[in-house]
Structure 1
Amino acid sequence: MSFLMVTCQVADQRNVQRDVSYFKTSSPGESTRKMVTSSTDPLRVLLFFPDANEVKDQVKGYFDTLAADTGRLQVEVHDRLTDAELAGKYKVIKDGTVVLVRGAGDKEKSQTIDIDTDINRSRTPNSKLRNLDREVNSALLKVLRDKRKIYLMVGHGEMNDPDSTPADIKSRIPQRTVTILKKRFADLNFEIKNLGLLDLSKDVPDDATMVVAMAPSVPLQAAEWASLERYLDGGGHLLIALDPTGNTSLGPLEGKLAIKMLPGHLTDEANFLPMRRTVSDRRMVLTNQFSAHASITVLSRATDRPLILNDAGALDDAQYTGKPEAAPKKTVTIRSPESSFLDLNDNFAFDSGGDKPEKKQRWNIATAVEGPKVGTKDGYRALVFADVDLFADIMVRDQLGRPVMLMWSDASAPLLDNSIQWLAGEEVFAGEVVSEDDKPIQHTKNQDVVWFMLTILGAPIILLTLGLVGTTRRRRSPQKAEVTQ
């Protein structure tokens, strides 16, 4: 006991924490390699670092790999003081600057990435070195093409505009933030513009690459629906994410896209994320039911990393109301597990009888829609999701207990990135972007039971077995003869 007390006293006085987590720089991802390969102009990477620097070694290793994989990249290492003229040309004023250069002369374009040269600070969460592939991916987009515009709808109580939610329904609409969503739009080289009633009732602006509607909680006006229809008829691109707690109507677009949202909340008594340890966790459904489509390129390969559907709804076919020759092509990209059901009486339990019998099946969660070509011009593209929370922020803790803000869908795969790339006609860039950030550990209910049993029963059984083996060996070993004088 005295020994334990002394040990505790020493530990309290020498309370030193060390970060012993595994660390390495992210390697070039599939999307980044595709971007470099697609460039018709020469690409150069200028690294401005001190001679002896561990961060420089990590960064150079990343770009050397990218150059070897693509054969389209020239990597140069410079000292900003020795090569002062070159540093001045690209406005390099500190060590740790990476310059990506495309083309030459008047057509030259460049982007810089500033990286902390201290290896200890570079080990921290969300550092640029840990996320080097995403930083390079974003910078490459800016040198490969001009910035485009995403028009984000506002004024209808959307997830991105909660202040416009009417007071009488605000209490039942969850408060969510979209910090990561907006940052990701910027990373993909898009400028975000708001699109409200005054503008949308006239027409979608001509410079819109796409329009995004994040769960309007109040219906759109007829003139707004008409503008969106005209926009699609002209080959526009539209992303709509709905929420079962808000307004689920697609208005006239239900007939145009032949899609509607069903009433009820997606619930599952077997495949769910036990986050709060209450029956409400059944609304956090885990699914790995994905089809092969460019809008979910990475997700379709990540069947070992289930997607979290947080209080989702479900989509179904609606009657098509347009001309037969203009009928859209639809592809269901995400489905729920077959054990899921739509909870119609809000009791978080499956009820097969009563006035509103519930049914277990694979429900449609997301659908990609393509319109026919208009002459030589490609037809419209639309993505409809029955779960807006896929694009909402969530604060979690990583494996070391550090707080990390993610997008719900990021825990599985970059769903937003691939969706935007497909809508914008840039699916050639679709692929995984590598990050070495520690991801939160997620277990299903059944997995938690297994881990609990292994912890409670498995460890004692292992210790008991080792003890029995040791005792048996000692008993069976021949005793040495005692030598007497």
Structure 2
Amino acid sequence: MAMRPSAISYLLGMFLLLLGERMFGAADPFRYALSGLGILLTLVALGMVASKRNAATEAQRPAHAQALLYGGIGVGSLVLYGLSLDSVVDAIGFTDDLPQARYITVVSAIWPIVWLCGTVPFLAVERSLSVSPLLVMPSRIREAAGGGLSMALAIAMLFPLNYLASQHNQRWDFGYFKTARPGNSTQALVSGLDAPVRAYLFFPANTDVREEVRTYFDQLDGVNLDIQFVDHALEPELAKELKVRDNGSVVFARGEGDDLQTESIKIGTEFDKARRRLKKLDADVREALLQLARDKRTVYVTVGHGEFYWDSDTDPLRKLSTFKRVLTAMNFRVKELGLTEGLATEVPEDADVVLVAGPTLPMLEEELAALDTFRAKGGALWILGEPDMIDLSAVLGPVGVSIPSGQTLTSDQNIIPIFRAPRDKTNIVTNKYSTHPSVTTLSRNSDELIILALGAAPVQEEGKVSFKRTVAMRTMADVWSDDGNYSLDAGERRQTYNLLVAASGPAPDAEAEEAEFRVIVMGDATWATDAVLDPRRTPANVQLIADSIAWLAEDEALAGIVESEEDVKIEHSKEGQGLWFYGAAFIVPFGLLGLGLGRIRRRNKGGAA
């Protein structure tokens, strides 16, 4: 006999909820639509059961009440699931990582157990009621509910066992692990140290973490880097001077007495807890050395003209907070530059680089003139354009480039689908780099480092110039310059387009004869936004920041690869991994559920016979 409508509505609702939560991102409207519809269907199912209970006879009501009880438990577990969401955890406002981790662990472990203890008995009772809707036998209902609950608890036992195994299985760990090795960027920093730097490695003898750290530091080679292993318990005075409370830290020190400067990296002494820090050890060491061995330099970012910005309320597709953090980690100050900071008069003297990122509101002629004067005196400009950007010809013209308005680089082949809309055709990728220093690391690793640009405009070379002008990055050959309809129309053709142009030459207005200006012009700013920048998913975009700022600031040690062995989250695409994804998410669980229901049906038929 077919399942009751209430059971069908319940299962369909849970299926849609699972679909919405597993397949779509946190801010995806499809997630809200599917999850909302799923919750609505589960509530409708409970309403159907309640209606059946109210219409049932006195003898039948306890059976329907049990279905309502277990169904309510299953739906109630969704409240616990909601308490585990990132948005709720952030809203709670934990001030310490440990309580937050414990909260997430407890809630994440409880809600699936509660869901099982409600859903399986509910379906078992519903099945019994569908087999005999008129002649309801209390013993059969109790047996079905008890069997379902036992099955749910048996399955639920796997959750704590899995958790305990993950916490205490230290001997049979066949997972991948490797401490990051020194990257060529860190090596260049160590080799270029202009004053002695001491590295104190506070670790007790004969520990696994000490050996991993030793392996890393043994590969660093520099005449001004002195590496010393010390034990906190045996060197209390040194630990006090360096403000080290216990073992498990790496401390870099420069200078003596009142001139002592230190930078610390906390790793830990327990191997399981130190694994994450060891995987990103190279990045931490590089950042510490930059803070210690390099004077801070300043990047000014123009504001007040609708530019891309790092404010918390900014659209992630226009937000530069991650971009700012990358520059800060490279020992740059990042400051605003607008009318109130004197842009209409001149660029501040402490500016090393000025960034202009996709302004959409007109600049004053005086502001444009100040930017060009800064370049002419030997300054470095970093222009990130957009198809809807204002006219910057007063700044771009003197370096022989232009960015046409309203033209977007589009393709239907080498693209990354993000929005599930026609605009995805503007999410182009490329690994076509020249040997110019502004893309030096990208060029050497072009097979692995692929740039993602969203809604870029072409950068055109204009006329002949007396200085050096280089196309450092081009698109793939399948791209066309689109007028906004995402279609290849008559007059539009596929070809390679300039995506990044670098220019440098003698600074005509500089006081020093050897001074030169440096300019990078890229036809996209979205590549540097929070929606795109991710060291694990888009490492090429992050590397482009390092290479570009290293060339603009005339500091080659900032360029180069930073090694990391951090795990990358595995994602299943619908095209390449569809069978595995749907198998793990839906086919296997519902297949097992179907086998269980089939077995119950055969057993009931055998009992009736």
- For normalisation by structure 1, the TM-score amounts to 0.78
Residues 424-463 of structure 1: pairs in structure 2 closer than 5 A: 424-439=553-568
Match of 2:339 among 197, 202, 206: 197
Change (3 A) 1:177 1:128: farther
The answer as to 2:279 corresponding to 1:130 is yes
2:316–2:529 contact (8 Å) kept in structure 1:
no
Match of 1:309 among 445, 453, 456: 453
Question: Is the radius of gyration larger for structure 1 or structure 2?
Answer: 2
The Cα shift of 1:274 comes to: 3.1
1:392–1:407 contact (8 Å) kept in structure 2:
no
> What residue in structure 2 maps to residue 464 of structure 1?
none
CA distance in 1 between counterparts of 2:358 and 2:411 reads: 23
Residue 231 of structure 1 aligns to a residue in which SS?
Answer: helix
Match of 1:360 among 491, 494, 500: 494
2:368–2:394 contact (8 Å) kept in structure 1:
yes
The answer as to 2:481 corresponding to 1:339 is no
The Cα shift of 1:343 comes to: 1.4
The Cα shift of 1:175 comes to: 4.6
The Cα shift of 1:376 comes to: 2.8
Residues 459-474 of structure 1: pairs in structure 2 closer than 5 A: none
CA distance in 2 between counterparts of 1:293 and 1:287 reads: 16
> What residue in structure 1 maps to residue 213 of structure 2?
59
How many residues matched? 422
> What residue in structure 1 maps to residue 294 of structure 2?
145
> What residue in structure 1 maps to residue 199 of structure 2?
45
Most deviating of 183-192 and 44-53: 44-53
**Greater relative contact order: 1 or 2 (C-alpha under 8 angstroms, separation 6 or more)?**
1
The Cα shift of 1:300 comes to: 0.9
CA distance in 2 between counterparts of 1:142 and 1:233 reads: 30
**Letter aligned with residue 456 of structure 2:** A
RMSD: 3.3
1:157–1:163 contact (8 Å) kept in structure 2:
no
Match of 2:516 among 351, 374, 379: 379
The Cα shift of 1:424 comes to: 0.5
CA distance in 1 between counterparts of 2:227 and 2:494 reads: 56
CA distance in 2 between counterparts of 1:174 and 1:429 reads: 27
Most deviating of 329-338 and 12-21: 12-21
CA deviations over 1:343-374 (Å, ceiling 9, x no partner): 11x222212x1xxx212111111111102255
CA distance in 1 between counterparts of 2:154 and 2:285 reads: 46
The answer as to 2:229 corresponding to 1:77 is yes
1:284–1:308 contact (8 Å) kept in structure 2:
yes
> What residue in structure 2 maps to residue 348 of structure 1?
486
Match of 2:246 among 91, 94, 97: 94
The answer as to 2:402 corresponding to 1:260 is yes
Change (3 A) 1:107 1:295: farther
The Cα shift of 1:92 comes to: 1.6
Change (3 A) 1:307 1:448: farther
CA deviations over 1:118-169 (Å, ceiling 9, x no partner): 433334xxx433211111111111222211111111111111167999xxxx
Residue 516 of structure 2 aligns to a residue in which SS?
Answer: coil
Most deviating of 232-241 and 426-435: 426-435
Residue 77 of structure 1 aligns to a residue in which SS?
Answer: strand
Residue 333 of structure 2 aligns to a residue in which SS?
Answer: strand
**Letter aligned with residue 30 of structure 1:** N
CA deviations over 1:3-45 (Å, ceiling 9, x no partner): xx99886443221254975222211000100111112333321
Change (3 A) 1:11 1:52: farther
CA distance in 1 between counterparts of 2:559 and 2:574 reads: 34
**Letter aligned with residue 313 of structure 1:** A
2:183–2:282 contact (8 Å) kept in structure 1:
yes
The answer as to 2:548 corresponding to 1:423 is no
The Cα shift of 1:290 comes to: 0.6
The answer as to 2:159 corresponding to 1:159 is no
Greater fraction strand = 1
> What residue in structure 2 maps to residue 474 of structure 1?
none
CA deviations over 1:388-446 (Å, ceiling 9, x no partner): 112111379xxxxxxxx559853565110111111110024421111112335689xxx
The answer as to 2:531 corresponding to 1:394 is yes
> What residue in structure 2 maps to residue 14 of structure 1?
158
- Which consecutive residues of structure 1, in runs of 5 or more, have no partner in the other structure? 166-172, 397-404, 457-485
CA distance in 2 between counterparts of 1:32 and 1:137 reads: 5
**Letter aligned with residue 243 of structure 1:** E
CA distance in 2 between counterparts of 1:46 and 1:155 reads: 46
Greater fraction helix = 2
CA deviations over 1:72-110 (Å, ceiling 9, x no partner): 533211122320111122222233221113456776543
**Letter aligned with residue 302 of structure 2:** M
Paired-residue identity, %: 32
Change (3 A) 1:209 1:395: closer
2:306–2:361 contact (8 Å) kept in structure 1:
yes
CA distance in 2 between counterparts of 1:29 and 1:227 reads: 39
